[in-house]
Amino acid sequence: MPSATPLRKSSDPAAGKLFEFQAQLPKLPVPTLSETLPKYLRTVEPLLSKEAYAQTKQVVEEFARSSQGQELQRRLEARAAEPGRPNWLEEWWNDLSYMGYRDPVVPYVSYFYAYKDDKLRRKPTQRAAAIVRAAWEFRRQVGSRELAPETTKAGALCSYSYNYMFNATRIPKKPSDIEATYDLATNEHIAVVRNNQFYALPLVHNGQLLSAAEIEAQLDRIVEQADSTAAVPVGVLTSDNRDLWTDNYRLLSEASPKNAATLERLQSAAFLVCLDDARPVTREEYHRVFWHGNGRNRWFDKSLQFIVCDNGKAGFLGEHSSMDGTPTCRLNDYILDQTLHGKVDLGSSTVRSDLPAPEALRFVTPPAVVRAIEQAGQRFDKVVEQHQLRVLQYEGFGKDEIKRLGFSPDGFVQMAIQLGYYKLYGKSRATYEAAATRAFAHGRTETCRSVSSESVAFCEQFETTTASAEAKLSALQAAVKAHGTYAKMCSEGKGVDRHLLGLRLSLRPGEEKPKIFQDVAYTESSHWYLSTSQLSSEHFEGWGFSEVVPDGYGVAYTIRKDAVILHIAAMKNEFGLNSDHLAHYIKEAATEMRAVVLACKLKEAAAKPKL
């Protein structure tokens, strides 16, 4: 098994600039019942009939008055106050949402970024080499703690998850997986996979970092060697159900002593570079390559995978369990800023003649392992086939235009998604938007509930034939304002979902579950028919993830200065979902929203007296 090294404590005074504010970060708060329960009622009301809401209101009020509700709150507050516990939610959330989650990490957990093309580097190994050099510099800054901590107007953000960025991997285990990290100083190699075959590539030779030209030469050697032979696609084992992968991980490890050493070498790598023979052209094609690929030329448990295709298209795949999107967005934005704008230090153009050949990481695969690989591949292919995808690049506006119209870009796009869904289904349903809580120690996310009474009223106004443009604009403004207010509360640790989860998990074995958690509103309002999130970079051609329920959509969006790119994923199943249709109606909604705002502005301008 890999020998994971202990992480530095986040409050370590010697931790350097990256952690300079860490000890000052507040703990994630536990809201009071009087804060959360009325707020909860406001979020469920637009999703329920009047009769169902009256019943839910009674259940919630009973819970607020009950001794059980008070006791669960007391327990949660006591947990939050425990010395040495930086975050009351951390262990529960990591296990429930990630390590204990047993469905395949791809397509259900991991996320990807699609890169803009690099017109300076059309050759795939040349582009990969530049990406490696830029990523290695970022890694150096993380390892030395020189990297500046992220900050907002409100203050510093937690840097703890940077511990899991490089030289890290998820490892399958029952009932919950574990995360292993390796010493950066003693593991100065990357892993490379081509044609389903893995290699270890040391990036330091005779004390000197390999130049981009040398990395390119070494990658060329890997491509030539891998393309001349065939291998059993061991990597597809990582695509499987986590319990099945746990069993097969043991089977693979015990098949030969060599396999355990090979796993250690692969898992301890700084990151994985996937050199794909695919040549995707359309947005849907390259989004699929970076989202899941063929499942074979990957090791889905690695924290970072950089993917470069034979036509130079490139992207990134992130393992989500120990690190959310904002740190990796920063990493990838840095890499692309460096490589696309000629900033990356490529080193010498001379290739040293004494570079050792890349180390082939070959697994021993007896018949039992081969059968397991074949079966895992069949399951992966079936899961991928069950998914549909549409990528919408909307060029009617971007961040700059939305701001000129007087709106928050995120709130405006969220309402376009709401109205698009309403047009398709004639109703609003529970919507998840990820809100970061990294202003708190070890903070991750809270659920921003995008559906509000105001958002429903906005959808109704836009779909009626009698509403004036002014009435529609007023409804849109109210909906975006309500969204922004709730999103701010979430970032301040004052959302409802994590608090309610904490109360529920504070129950002890054998205790009766409160009616609030048995009520239809609790189930319906957290069944995410729309799971959405925004991560934006001018260097991205979109990003994406999957749906979280079989009858729902996963909508990842990037808001660039001049465009909005939406990745809309869903399953092909008995629920009759249609990503193409949702994309059509989101586009229609966005166009109508812009037209209404502009019409009102023109009318207002015309009404002003001329000088």
Instruction: State the catalytic residues.
Output: 320
Measure the N-to-C terminal CA separation of the chain; round to a whole number of Å.
79
- Contact (CB, 8 A) for 346 and 212: yes
> CA distances (Å), 211 to each of 134, 200, 215, 333, 468, in order?
11, 17, 6, 21, 63
Characterise 540 by phi-psi region: left (phi > 0), alpha (psi -120 to 50), beta (else).
Answer: beta
**How far is the C-alpha of 318 from the C-alpha of 251, rounded, in Å?**
26
Q: How many residues does the chain have?
A: 611
| Helix, strand, coil fractions of the chain, as percent rounded to 5 | 45, 15, 40
Return the HEC string of 127-171.
Answer: HHHHHHHHHHHHHHHHHHCCCCCCEECCEECCCHHHHHCCCEEEE
- Token digits of residue 359: 């180390």
> Which residue intervals of 398-468 are DSSP H helices?
399-404, 409-425, 453-463
Bond preceding residue 86 cis, omega within 30 of 0: no
Neighbour tally for 607: CB within 10 Å = 7
**Nearest by Cα to 127 from 316, 255, 304:** 316
How far does CA 585 lie from the centroid of its chain?
25
Judged on CB neighbours under 10 Å (0-12, 13-18, 19+), 90 is middle
Strands (E), 530-596: 530-534, 540-544, 553-559, 564-571
**How far is the C-alpha of 367 from the C-alpha of 462, rounded, in Å?**
62
Three-class SS state of 89: coil
**How far is the C-alpha of 606 from the C-alpha of 95, rounded, in Å?**
59
In single-letter form, the type of residue at position 504 comes to R
